[in-house]
Each structure stands twice: as C-alpha cells, then as structure tokens.
Structure 1
Amino acid sequence: MEELNRTGNEVIMTSNEENMVKKENVYILAGAIFLATIFNILFYRKGLGISYPIFVLAFYGVVIFTLRDKIALKINFGTLLTIPIILLSLTYVFFSNWIFMLLNFMIIPILIIAQTLIITNNNYYKWFDAKFIFDLLSAVLLRNLCYVYKPFVLVSEIRKRKTRSNKASTVTKVIIGLLLSIPLILVVIALLSSADDVFGYWMERIGRLFIDMNIADIIAQLIIGFFICIIVFSYLWSLYYEKDKDFSKSIGDYFRIKKIWDPIIVLTVLVSVNLIYIAFTAIQFKYLFGSISSLLPEGVTYAEYARKGFFELVLVTVLNVSILTSIINLTKIENIITACVIKTMNTCLVACTMVMLLSAHFRMSLYEQEYGYTYLRVFTHAFMFFIFVILIATLIKVWKENFYLLKSYIVVALIAYLALNYFNVDAFIANNNIKRYQANSTEIIDTNYLNLLSSDAVPYMVKLFDNQNEQVAQRIKEGLKYRKSRLASISNWQSFNLSDYRAKRILDEYNFEE
C-alpha cells in the first residue's frame, strides 16, 4: 500500500511538473528575461530617445509570441490602439518637449495595459464603460504582483527536471542553458575586466555599445532586471492563464449608476441657469461683433475687457459639461413631455456653452497678441477646441439616448492628445513670439522663456543672433551655448532624438567662444 501511495504521489508530482515545465511557460520566462535585458540596455543611465519605441516594439514582439494562442486579432478598438501607442512612442524620437515626454511615459503603459486586456479578452467591462477603470486597476495592482512567485517555481521545476530526465527537447535545453548562463557570464566578465586591464579595455569597448561594464553597474542592472523580469512574467502569466475578473467585477458592481434625480427639480435648475447664460450670451455677441463699448463700466477700456476672463470662462465651460453629463446619466424620465423639455434646456445649455468657448477663444487670442505665446496659453486653446468637440458629442447624446457618450469622449481624447503631441508646440511658440517681436520694434521678447523651450525651438531662436538689440542676441547666445555643450555630451545611441540631432547640427555652425 505504501509503495502504491508513493508511486501515486510520484505520478502526481510528475504530472504537475510536466504541466509547469512546458514550452509555453518557458517562452514566457524567456520573454520576461529578454525584456528585462533590453530594458537595461536601452534605459539604464541613458536619456529617453529612440530607446522608447524600440522597447515598445520589443514588448509587442514578446506579447505576440508568448500569447499568440490567446490573442484575437481583429479590427476593433483594442487592435487600433496600436496606432496611438506607436505614434506616441515615436515622439521620443521626433520631439524633445519635456512635458509630453513625462506625460507619455505614464500614458503609454496605461494604453498598453488596456490594449493587452482587450485583445486577450481579459477585461470584464467594455473599454467604453466607466467601470473599465477597475479592469485597469486589477491589471496594475494584481496581475503584476499575484504571480511573482511563479518564475521561481518554474526555474525550480526546470532544475528538477534537468536532474531527473534527459528527455527535454534540444530547444528547451538550449533556452534553459542560456537563461542560467546570462547572470554568470555577466559577473565573470566584470571580475575578469577588473583583473586584467587589456581584457577589460576590449570588453569595455564592446560593452559600450550596450551597457557600462563595471561591477557596480552590473549589480545595479541585475537588480533592476530582476524586478522587471518578475513583474513582466507575472503580467504575461496572468494574461495567459487567468481571466482575473473577480476583482474588477466585485469592486465595479458597487458603482452602479442609478437615475435618482427628480426631473422637475432638474428642470427648475436648468431653466434658472439658462436664463443667466442667455443674458451672458447676449453680451458676448455684442462683444464678439465689437459693439459693447456702450455697456462697459466707467474706467474700463475695451482692450482691458477683452483680455481678461478667459480662464473663468473655461472653468464655467467645464462645469457646464459636468452638469450636462450628470443630468443625462442621473435624471429620471417620467413622461415624454418632461423629457422633451429637459432635452431642449440641455440643448440651450450646450449652445450657450459654445458661445462661451468662442468668447474665451477670442479673449485668449487678443491676450496672446498683447503678451505673446506660452505653453499654458497654447494648451488652453487646444483644451477649448477639445471641449467644443466634446460638446458636439454631448449634444448628440441629448437627442439620441443609445449613443455611447464615454466611447466618443475616449476616442476624441486620444485623437486630440495625439494631435497635440505632433503639433510641435515649442516650434510654434518660438516662431510666433519671434515673428511678433520682429514685426514691432517696440515689443519686448522673453529670452529666458525661449531658452527654456526644447530643441524644437532652436531653428527659430538662431534668427535672433543678428538682432539689432545686442542684449537680446547675447542672452539667446548664452542659452544656446549651454544647450550646445549639453547636446555634445549625449553620445549613446539609445538617447538619439531627431530634434536634438537637428539642433546640434545647427549649433555646430556657430562659434560661441568669440
């Protein structure tokens, strides 16, 4: 009996081992180690540049290879997300605006997580459902951490299998051998490089193409690579084996939208607010057509009136969009007449809000003509255009109940953000501020602000070298002299950026030591 039990246990252990040590799991481990290695080669002690899109493409390669049996390739939102992800990653090659570099560093991983959940059918909620956020939280908080022990179990089983049997395939043996040899080779090379200067010299020249070959960096990169490998493995494993929907479902079910607002109360509030907005809109029409002078308070000029208030108008616009979406989603519909009146009032609110946006746009334009262009002013323009498109989508929802409002918001937001990335805001600011300065000799130009812009502004800034105002020319030269020395210190290929490269080529034509 004991012998039978022992034999049975051995059979169960062998079965578990075979389930664990199979090519799909080994591929996931190999893919995680590959991405961890690539991560260190591309990012360790290096600035962001061409390295970012390369890593994104490497990640896609690993995902497609390891999850090929789980991926449903068809034309849908999940597949189409590849376009903005690739284009946003390429901004690290084309542009050098630090604001978008920082934002994209956070946004691209979120888009990738959303995409991998959708294409592998691991999302419980649809991507245009507000509760899809819980799928994302589940991916970030659980999928990346729940299976961190699995690679250790897999490696342990591989070692046991290696000692018990020689039946593993040649490919599996080679992969296992490579995985086990990588950390050993790195440590041995580091030690031998320290022991022999000639060997160290040649290893340094070879290693300079990829990583800095010294013991401290090797240890740091092994630690970083270890954590990257564990997190990537856990995430890929969860996508392959688990549809981990329980967490997002259990949390999301607590957040059900219920129509609880009384329509009469909502209608009363809408009528009251719209009366104020109609009066405000009438004044804005007079302002927009230049006939408001007779209504201005004593001591207030038209120029002073026109150049203020745009931020307040933008805030009111955002408030109105919030009111509209809340009314659409939370108001109870009791009869057709009340519903039609509420829709009419909502339409009136949308129309008044659009006039406010138009007024804010003109005010901002006049302000820019007077004081120049900055990030905040350009981004405010872009935000106003985005809100205008959002209002059109909201108006459609007011009259078409089966219209997916959040879906349109997400698509519009992605397109708008992508367009803003490729607008090249630094070049726009520099070009227009310099044109404004050159067109009017009495104008002043903020040279300190110009010097804070990215390398995209350099082709326009050099136009000020021959400026009659020697103080302006000197300040620009001092800023570009520092920029030239900074660009000259960037030597690794991973940090290659077309904007920096173009600026370096332009600045190399000037001798700032004279």
Structure 2
Amino acid sequence: MKKRNFLLIACCVAVGILAEWLLVDHTFGLNVVLFATLYYCLFYWQMKGKRLMNRKIGFLLMFSILFLALNYFLYWNIVLYLLNLIILPGLIIVHCVLITRKKRVDWNSFGFIGYMFTFTCQWIAFAISRLLVPKKIFASRMQVQSYRTLKMIVLGIFISLPLVFFTGLLLMSADSHFAQLVELLPLQMLDFSIGDELARLAFILIVSLLLYSFVRILRRNHTSYSTQKRDNEVKWEGIIVITVLISLNGLYALFTFVQFQYFFSDTLISGLTYADYARRGFFELIVVTLINWTIVVAVIKTMDMKSKKMNAIINALLSLLVGMSGIMLYSAGMRLTLYEEAYGFTMARILAHAFMVWIGVILTFTFIKIWYKSLSLSRFYIISTLVFYSALNIVDLNRLIVQKNLDRYQETEKLDLFYLQQISAAGTLGLIELYEENPDMPGLKEALIQEKVEAEKNKESWQSSNLVRKQEREALKDLEIR
C-alpha cells in the first residue's frame, strides 16, 4: 500500500472518531461547523498540488456551505434544520466534484445531473470494493486450507453469538447467583450497553469508509460527460405560439382589470371581508404564475424564429405575459399580507413571502432574457437559488417572526402565545421581552414558568452549542417572575 493511501486511511479513521465524538448523541449546533472544517482540512490536504477548476461557482458553493453550517450554530429554525440535513451534504459533494475535475464542467446543464448520478454510483461501488480488500489480503497470504479454516471459525462465531446471548439470558432468569456472577464480569458482556458501543463503532467505520472512498475517487481523473446538443430538439411553429400567447394574455388582462378594482377602490370591503379575500386564491395565483413562467421559458428554449417580424411579435407577447404574471404575483402578496394582518405571522407565511420575492427576481431576469438571447437562464436560476437559500440561512427568520407578531400585538392586542412558545428559543426571548412590558397578560406567566423549568432540566453539551439557545437559557435564568 502506498504511504499516501495509508496516511489517508489513518486520517479518515481519526476524522471518523472525531465525528462520533462531535455528532452522536448531540443535537446539531457548533459540532456541524467543526465537522465541516475537519472534512475540508482533510480534503484540501489530499488535493494539495492539484489544480482546482470551476473556481467561480466553487467560491459561491463554499460560501453557501459556510452559511448553511453556521445556521446550526447561530439560530434554531426547525424547517432549515431538517432541510439542511439533505442540502448541506449535497452541496459539499457537488462542490468537491466541481473543483477537482480535470476540465471545466458545464454545471448549468441537465447533463451535469446525470454526471453526478454516475459519480455517486462509482463512489458507492468503490466503497463496497474497499470492504473486500481484507478478504483478498488474507486469501493471498494464507494457504488455502488455513484460510478456509479461519473463515469457518469466523462464521461459527457469528452463528454462536445470538445462541450464547439468548441462552445466557434464560440461565440468568433461572439462577440468580449465575446472574450476579455474569453482572460482575469485567467486560459485562451481556449488558445491553454493549449494543450502543457496537453502534458507535459501526458509525466510525462507515464515516471513515465513506470519507476514504470519496477522497480517493476525487483524486482520479474522470471523463467528462458529453455536452453535444441533440439534433432532434422540439421546435414550435410561430403561429401556434402567437395563438396560445394571445389567448392567455386576453384571459389575464380580464383578471388584471378585476384586480385593479381591489387595488384602487373599496370594492373589497363591500363584497368580502379581508380574511375571506386573503384566504381565497393565494396558492392558485402562485401556481398560475409558475405555469406562466414555465411557458415563457419553454417558448424561449424551443421557439423556431424564422423572421424578425414574428420574433418581435412573440417577444412582445412574452413580455406582456411576464408583466401579467407580475401583477398576479403582487395580488398574491397582497392577499398574504392581509391574511397576516388578520391572523398573525408564521414561518410558513414568511417563507411564502420570501418565495414570492425569489419568483419576482426570476421573472425579472426572464423578461430581460426575452430581449437579450445571449444570457443564460439556467446559470442565473442556479446562482440565484443558491444565493436565495443561503440568505434564508444567514437571516434569523424566527426572530423576524417574533418581532412582527409583537408589533402586531402593540396595534391589535392579539397574540398567539402558544405559537411563540413553540417556535424556538427566539420565541421564548420574545415572551420575556413582552413579560417585562406587560406582566399581567393572561397565560404569559404560566408559559414562562414552564419554559424556565424545561431550561433547568435540559442541559446542553458544548458540541451542541447554539447562540440563540444560550441567550434563551441566560435570559430565563435572570428572569424574576413576579
């Protein structure tokens, strides 16, 4: 075995041991940042001297990974907590693959998805092949009969373990003295805690194997996927496209006329309550906007432009469709705002606002793309999505929700105490702030007493350190409930 590979195995096992110490039996917090740092130290050490490619998208991915990891340490948002369990490892894998390829990768094409799938299959196959290495080593260095005998002994041990375990339990139940003798064994072989130790050992071995195989396969030179364009791409006739766009724009023009009555008159008050208006049609408008965006992108990608005149007509109709979509998006945002004024702010409603902002940015760039064909839609969509999601992770959304609800309480004296209590540590901090201003609010004192008791019970390890939860514990400790 090469010295470099031997050192890599040793380092991967060390990182696996540290991963077990940092992550197992601990809530994610500071430990995520530390483990990501450990991994990248190992990664860049192994890639020392190797020319890294795709640096621009690599830097963007690196910052996104940093923001996602820091979210576990800075804030406590259960939605992003769960999403990042999948997205964060995925971004790390994509980042490492992109910057270690020998050639520049067309990462904004559908071919890259297939390439990543192929790479993942190769990674798993390589990891499985490493499991067979000890067998090959023993088989090559031992005589056939000796190797066969050793294999039978190992097989016999695996067969006997469950038999000895269950038989021992029966004997312990039958004789108390035998049970006491077994309990005094130095290794306590029949203690159920041994299962926990085996699980920890398995975790270390799996992490070490995955890290080793991943870094090894990254060091290889892979053939890039094919970027040849297909000759049989579907092309739409201009007359068909114009007919469809005129029909859609006519329908949306009528809808827009009705919406402007709501924007600039009192028609809403005489017909519907604000809550009814806000509840009706929000998701439908979002879906229609997404359908329109899909139609615009499909026409841009598949339109067969035969003449400048037809090209200008289609571009004008597409621009009008994007404008109508913007009006529908604004209408959906207005409905959501009215609903929040009536029922308060929640994580789902704040995320819906953020999603609409992202759609607005996407529509704006798509409008520009209609008239400037040289721009890349897929590249902008991927970059804007990364920036958007990274921004969600670096902003304390829970604190924003709490502040919005407290401001609403100052105006309407309406507040959902139960929701603030459940949202996170930021919700508890908001309740403490409210208690200092209005200690006589019904239910507030009882909620804070409950939070104070829970904080005293739950002790947090340093691996799970989280700044917001730390602020919550300190605030509850200093709080004097009258």
**TM-score normalized with structure 2 length:** 0.82
Q: What per-residue deviation string (whole Å, max 9, x for no partner) do you get for residues 338-358 of structure 1?
A: 222111111111111111112
Q: Distance in 1 between the 2:203 and 2:245 partners?
A: 56
Q: 1:456 to 1:305 in 2, by over 3 A?
A: closer
Q: Distance in 1 between the 2:231 and 2:103 partners?
A: 18
Matches within 5 A, 1:328-339: 328-339=300-311
Q: Which runs of 5+ in 2 are unaligned?
A: 142-183
Counterpart of 1:477, as a letter, is L
Q: Does 1:481 align with 2:452?
A: yes
Q: 1:75 to 1:437 in 2, by over 3 A?
A: same
Q: 1:468 to 1:457 in 2, by over 3 A?
A: closer
- Of 73, 78, 96 in structure 2, the residue corresponding to residue 116 of structure 1 is 96
Give the deviation of 1:50 after TM superposition: 0.5
Q: Distance in 1 between the 2:384 and 2:138 partners?
A: 49
Q: Which residue of 2 aligns with 1:472?
A: 443
- Of 267, 276, 281 in structure 1, the residue corresponding to residue 242 of structure 2 is 267
Q: Distance in 2 between the 1:155 and 1:53 partners?
A: 37
Contact preservation (8 Å) 1:49, 1:496: yes
Matches within 5 A, 1:48-87: 48-72=28-52, 75-87=55-67
Q: Which residue of 1 aligns with 2:214?
A: 235
Q: What per-residue deviation string (whole Å, max 9, x for no partner) do you get for residues 223-271 of structure 1?
A: 11112222222221211124165xx65xx98988823322211211011
Contact preservation (8 Å) 2:75, 2:396: yes
Q: Which residue of 2 aligns with 1:46?
A: 26
Q: 1:97 to 1:352 in 2, by over 3 A?
A: same
- Of 194, 200, 204 in structure 2, the residue corresponding to residue 221 of structure 1 is 200
- Of 371, 375, 382 in structure 2, the residue corresponding to residue 403 of structure 1 is 375
Q: Which residue of 1 aligns with 2:293?
A: 321
Q: Does 1:195 align with 2:194?
A: no
Give the deviation of 1:132 after TM superposition: 1.5
Q: Distance in 1 between the 2:119 and 2:362 partners?
A: 29
Q: Which residue of 2 aligns with 1:137?
A: 117
Q: Distance in 1 between the 2:185 and 2:313 partners?
A: 82
- Of 329, 351, 354 in structure 2, the residue corresponding to residue 382 of structure 1 is 354
Q: What per-residue deviation string (whole Å, max 9, x for no partner) do you get for residues 58-98 of structure 1?
A: 11111111122434167421233211111210111100111
Counterpart of 1:229, as a letter, is S
Q: Does 1:507 align with 2:479?
A: no
Counterpart of 1:334, as a letter, is K
Secondary structure at the residue paired with 2:106? coil
Query: How much identity, in percent, do the aligned residues show?
Result: 29
Q: 1:365 to 1:416 in 2, by over 3 A?
A: same
Contact preservation (8 Å) 1:67, 1:240: yes
Q: Distance in 2 between the 1:194 and 1:83 partners?
A: 53
Give the deviation of 1:25 after TM superposition: 1.9
Contact preservation (8 Å) 1:117, 1:123: no
Q: Distance in 1 between the 2:408 and 2:276 partners?
A: 20
Counterpart of 1:324, as a letter, is V
Q: Distance in 1 between the 2:280 and 2:356 partners?
A: 16
Q: Distance in 2 between the 1:338 and 1:508 partners?
A: 71
Give the deviation of 1:437 after TM superposition: 1.6
Q: How many residues align?
A: 435
Q: Which residue of 2 aligns with 1:10?
A: none
- Of 411, 418, 424 in structure 2, the residue corresponding to residue 454 of structure 1 is 424
Q: Distance in 1 between the 2:20 and 2:9 partners?
A: 17
Counterpart of 2:59, as a letter, is T
Q: Distance in 2 between the 1:363 and 1:287 partners?
A: 11
Q: Distance in 2 between the 1:134 and 1:74 partners?
A: 18
Give the deviation of 1:139 after TM superposition: 3.1
Q: Distance in 2 between the 1:421 and 1:22 partners?
A: 42
Q: Distance in 2 between the 1:326 and 1:194 partners?
A: 72
Secondary structure at the residue paired with 1:338? helix
Q: Which residue of 1 aligns with 2:390?
A: 418
Counterpart of 2:247, as a letter, is S
Q: Distance in 2 between the 1:394 and 1:257 partners?
A: 25
Q: Which residue of 2 aligns with 1:25?
A: 5
Give the deviation of 1:124 after TM superposition: 8.3
Between 1:141-150 and 1:357-366, the stretch displaced more is 141-150
Contact preservation (8 Å) 2:54, 2:104: no
Q: Distance in 2 between the 1:73 and 1:480 partners?
A: 51
Secondary structure at the residue paired with 2:63? helix
Contact preservation (8 Å) 2:253, 2:324: yes
Between 1:40-49 and 1:274-283, the stretch displaced more is 274-283
